Amino acid sequence: MTSIPDIALSVRQPSAWALLHGGKDIENRTAFSVKAGGMKPARIALHAAKGMTQAEYEYAAYKFADIGCVVPRPDDLARGAIIGVIEVIAIVHREETGSPWMSRRSPDMRGLVVADPMAIQPIPADGARGYFKWKAGGEVCQPAAWMRRWNHPSGDDRTTDLFADQAPAYRAPPKRPWG
């Protein structure tokens, strides 16, 4: 097995999953966060942040499906752990890429261009902003109640879900949960 770098970047789910498994080739950050976080091209560990609200998940699942990426159920996404290794090969302005993963909502956006994703068994670890030196410890987050009930009209647990591998359907596009 390849060694896991000491330096990591924390990314909220389901974006962290998409970087490893969904073809996501850009991780969006503001120019300020790139500079303040000491981000530069490097081989880094990928940390799945502990937080993920239902609104964040629904919006990301909806937007990712537009790109052709169907994300797993929220209770199948590891959180609070190192979940893989990626190579940040460049940091670009939004005009420098045609990737559908690049945010175009602000001229201040930068894209960390990633390559060579490698998933690993989750290693519990705390995250931090920007690039950070991680250490193993703690526990992988348990799914919240809303995650276990995800996409069930009855609100039952997932054992009754015959179509768990289908993209969720929405009557209207979910609202973007952040500014």
Domain ranges of the chain: 7-142
Token representation of residue 79: 């959180």
23 sits in the region (left: phi over 0; alpha: psi -120 to 50; else beta) called: left
pTM: 0.85
The CA-to-CA distance between both ends of the chain, in Å, stands at 40
Question: Rounded to an integer, what distance in angstroms lies between the CA atom of residue 59 and that of residue 25?
Answer: 19
* The predicted structure's pLDDT at residue 152: 61
Question: Rounded to an integer, what distance in angstroms lies between the CA atom of residue 81 and that of residue 124?
Answer: 4
Q: Are 43 and 4 in contact (CB under 8 A)?
A: no
One-letter identity of residue 152: H
Q: What is the mean pLDDT of each run of 10 residues along the chain (179 residues)?
A: 88 97 95 93 97 93 92 96 98 86 86 96 95 95 91 54 54 65
* The predicted structure's pLDDT at residue 23: 95
32 sits in the region (left: phi over 0; alpha: psi -120 to 50; else beta) called: alpha
- Domain 7-142, CATH homologous superfamily name and number: Hypothetical protein. (2.30.130.30)
Token representation of residue 94: 């939004």
How does DSSP classify residue 96? G
* The predicted structure's pLDDT at residue 165: 52
How does DSSP classify residue 86? E
